Amino acid sequence: MNILAIESSCDDTSAAVLTAEGIQSNIIASQSIHLQFGGVVPELASRAHQKTITQTVQQALEEADVSLDDIEAIAVTQGPGLLGSLLVGICFAKGLALSRNIPLIGVNHMDAHIYANFIDHQPEFPLLALTVSGGHTQLVHVTSPFEHEIIGKTRDDAAGEAFDKIGKLLGLPYPAGPHMDRLAKKGDPQFHKFPQALLHKGLDFSFSGLKTSVLYYLEDKNDEWIQEHLNDICASVSYAIAEVLVKKLKRAAQQTSVKSIVLAGGVSANSMLREKAEGMAAKLGIPLYSPKISYCTDNAAMISITGKLKAIKGQFDDLNLKPFASLT
């Protein structure tokens, strides 16, 4: 089945084409307008999607060397995300589906992050997913495709949110996560011991205390001192976040007896997290998979592979498909 996929849940407009030979294109149009605000402005995001979605889809089709006549299903992000942004993608997908009589498939954005691992790998079920992004931090037990149970989640800030907010305190551009990761590689993770909340308690996460701790730590430091020790601070923050994520992941893996572990979401691109998770999984003797970096952040390739899995199960939608800001 040739699938056209559309992703517009936040501030990236993306379109991809999946054929029997695999991903043929994965176009991502990022929005630079939010940089000046230090975060995504929902109204500006939806307007930017409207301006770029047509050309993004066209570029994806051209790069894949297919036409709309070749497309047999359209997969589109249904949620969670910003309602205005989701509406742009869904309305565009509905228009194509109606005009071309093409089946429509609504996709849960968080499911798609997990199934991004199936683009290049074949993790065995049951599997455990650590999904970490700007809006979510979850441990998900997956017994079979679309049979999920969230067994751990953040009680406040998500891991990606903590990276971005702490990065803002350090004067780094938005989104700060990739910048902190790059700087952390040159720093000392033991430079300062930041708190690791709920480390020995259950499977839930909490990162708001870490953000506050960094704020208090920096309040009597001048800009010159911060710049001098920036690499070490980033490394120490990254260590505190990755340590909690991996120890919770290990605890969940031991409790669920899974056959595979997967990393998912934008923060799964973090090099320290990947390194720690790989070491942990090797000690447990459980295969660990993670998407290639271009499939970690929001992208339509992950929507296409999830759409394919839903199509195999006969899970199609009609034109009543609605967006949802929150979707489990």
For domain 123-290, the CATH architecture is 2-Layer Sandwich (3.30)
Does residue 264 contact residue 129 with C-beta atoms inside 8 Å? yes
DSSP secondary structure code for residue 298 in this structure:
S
Is 179 part of any known ligand binding site?
Answer: no
Classify residue 173 by burial, with Cβ atoms within 10 Å: 0-12, 13-18, 19+. exposed
Is 148 part of any known ligand binding site?
Answer: no
Does residue 101 contact residue 74 with C-beta atoms inside 8 Å? no
DSSP secondary structure code for residue 194 in this structure:
-
Query: In angstroms, rounded to a whole number, what is the distance separating the alpha carbons of residues 236 and 194?
Result: 7
Is 181 part of any known ligand binding site?
Answer: yes
Structure tokens at 251: 């605890």
> pLDDT tens per residue, the chain (328 residues)?
899 999 999 889 999 999 999 999 999 998 777 677 777 788 898 999 999 999 999 999 999 999 999 999 999 999 999 999 999 999 999 999 999 999 999 999 999 999 999 999 999 999 999 999 988 999 999 999 999 999 999 999 999 999 999 999 999 998 899 999 999 999 999 999 999 999 999 999 999 999 999 999 999 999 999 999 999 999 999 999 999 999 999 999 999 999 999 999 999 999 999 999 999 999 999 999 999 999 999 999 999 999 999 999 999 999 999 999 987 7
Does residue 173 contact residue 180 with C-beta atoms inside 8 Å? no
Structure tokens at 4: 């056209």
Is 54 part of any known ligand binding site?
Answer: no
Residue type, 72: E
Name the pTM for this structure. 0.93
Per-residue pLDDT at 204: 98
Phi, psi torsion values for 131, nearest 5 degrees: -105, 115
Is 65 part of any known ligand binding site?
Answer: no
pLDDT (tens digit per residue) in 233-285: 999 999 999 999 999 999 999 999 999 999 999 999 999 999 999 999 999 99
Is 298 part of any known ligand binding site?
Answer: yes
Superfamily of domain 3-114+296-312 in CATH is ATPase, nucleotide binding domain (3.30.420.40)
Per-residue pLDDT at 43: 85
Structure tokens at 196: 């690791």
Per-residue pLDDT at 135: 86
Is 270 part of any known ligand binding site?
Answer: yes
Query: In angstroms, rounded to a whole number, what is the distance separating the alpha carbons of residues 104 and 122?
Result: 25
**CATH 3.30.420.40 segments of the chain:** 3-114+296-312, 123-290
DSSP secondary structure code for residue 36 in this structure:
G
Is 164 part of any known ligand binding site?
Answer: yes
CA dihedral 60, 293, 94, 79 (to 10 degrees): -170
